[in-house]
Amino acid sequence: MGRVTIALFALASAAFAASPQGDGEALFRETEFKAAARTFERSLAKDPGNARLHYWLGKSYARMAEVSSLLSARRNARKARAHLESAVQLDPGNRVFLTELFEFYVDSPEYFDGGLSCAAAMLERLGLDDGGPGSPSRILADARKEYRGAGWALRKGVLRVGAVTGYLIP
């Protein structure tokens, strides 16, 4: 019985690895975010209601926003937000999807007005925590301290000017 289970697990793993979703996840783990995003986009064209594909595509765009130029970061962040929100909308009980969207809101307030407010609204959906280091409520409190004051206003202004300029340059 144990050998049959192991054989079935091996077959299922091989089938998943050969699937476009498995290919995309492998590319993501190899930090090939752009190639992963293309793979997930092709898969989503065939299965637009797949929350897991939206989740991985959103994660890919979020990482691309982190490592891309100032000119393309905003566009990638908007795409990341849309796909992460779609994943949560399609599978609202999935804590992994909720947590990723929460962390995206907290880490990306320079791209969206109200990102921290959206993260605060998600705290209720994530449930109670102990307030200790690494807990969602503590992460949000720390982010509120970081994204405040004159330094933040200047940084946000520079990011916005860069984004507008990016649209003007052919």
Domain that holds residue 114: 2-168
CA 22 from chain centre, in angstroms, equals 18
The answer on pLDDT for 117 being more than 50 is yes
Q: Provide the pLDDT confidence category of residue 52 given band limits of 50, 70 and 90.
A: very high
Helix, strand, or coil here: 67?
A: helix
The whole model's pTM is what?
0.70
- Residue showing tokens 């649209």: 167
The pLDDT value recorded for residue 22 is 75
For residue 37, the domain's CATH number is 1.25.40.10
Lowest mean pLDDT among 42-46, 47-51, 69-73: 69-73
> Angle at CA 11, nearest 5°, toward 10 and 15?
120
Task: At 62, give phi and psi (nearest 5°).
Answer: -60, -45
The amino acid at residue 89 is: Q
Tell me: pLDDT of 165 over 70: no
Q: How many domains does the chain have?
A: 1
Rg of the chain's alpha carbons, rounded to an integer? 19
The position carrying tokens 């064209």 is: 45
In this prediction, residue 149 has a pLDDT band, given cuts at 50, 70 and 90, of low
Mean pLDDT of 67-92: 92
As to burial, measured by CB atoms within 10 angstroms (0-12 exposed, 13-18 middle, 19+ buried), residue 130 is exposed
pLDDT at 11 over 50: no
pLDDT at 150: 53
| Eight-class DSSP state of 135 | S
Q: Is the pLDDT of residue 135 over 60?
A: yes
Single-letter amino acid code for the residue at 166: G
The two tokens of residue 14 are: 């091989």
In which residue are the tokens 């409190």 written? 141
For residues 95 and 133, give the distance between their C-alpha atoms in angstroms, rounded to a whole number: 19
